[in-house]
Amino acid sequence: MECVNFEGNYAKIGEKLGEWWGNFLLNNNPKNQKSKDIIEYYLININDAWKDKYSPLLINVIKCFPDIFEEIYGITKGVLKTGLETSFLDIFAFCLAETGEPNSNCSSVILKNKGGLFLAHNEEYDKIYPLLLAKVNLRKNLTCKTFISISYPFQLFGSAAGMNRNFAFQGNSIGYSGKVKKLEKR
C-alpha cells in the first residue's frame, strides 16, 4: 500500500484529501464486482448523505471545532475540483461515518516485534473499502503536527486509525457512546 503525503493548514490538507478521493473514484478501475459496487456507492451518495438529524452535530463543530470545519470545507472544495457534485453538508455527513450505525465497529491493534511497531486495522463494515494511508504535516501558525493516518473516503484524516511521532494512537471507530446517539436523535 502506498503512503500519500499531505501538507498544509486544515483547509489545504482537506482540499488535497477531497481532490485525492474524487480522482481515485473517477479514475479507479475496480477488478471485481464488490469493488465496483462500493465505488458506485460513493459516487451516488456523495451528494445525498446529509440528514437533518445531523444539525446539532454541525452546530457543535462550527462552535467548538473551527479547525475541523475548515478541513471539511477544504474536502468539499477538493471534491468539487474533480468535477464530482457534492456540498459541504454532504461531506460533513460522510465525516460522521458510522456514527449510530449498528454492528459497524472495527478494531485496531499495535504490534511490536524486532522490525518495529506495526498498526493493524480490521473492518467489519463492507462499504468501507477503500482505505487511504497518508502521512500528514498539518501546519498552523508556526507549528507543524505530523501524523500517520488511515482514513475512509471523504472523511477526516485518522477516521479509521492514526498515530503521531510520539506514538499517540487513535482508532475513531471503536463503539459509540450513548451521548452521541442522543445528540444525533434531536
Per-residue model confidence as pLDDT tens digits over 144-175: 888 888 788 888 887 766 665 555 555 543 33
What domain range is 45 assigned to?
A: 4-184
In sequence order, which ranges of the chain are alpha helices (DSSP H)? 10-27, 33-45, 55-64, 66-81, 88-96, 178-184
Q: What is the pLDDT of residue 186?
A: 41
pTM: 0.76
**Cis, peptide link before residue 130, omega less than 30° from 0:** yes
| Amino acid occupying residue 114 | K
Total domain count for the chain? 1
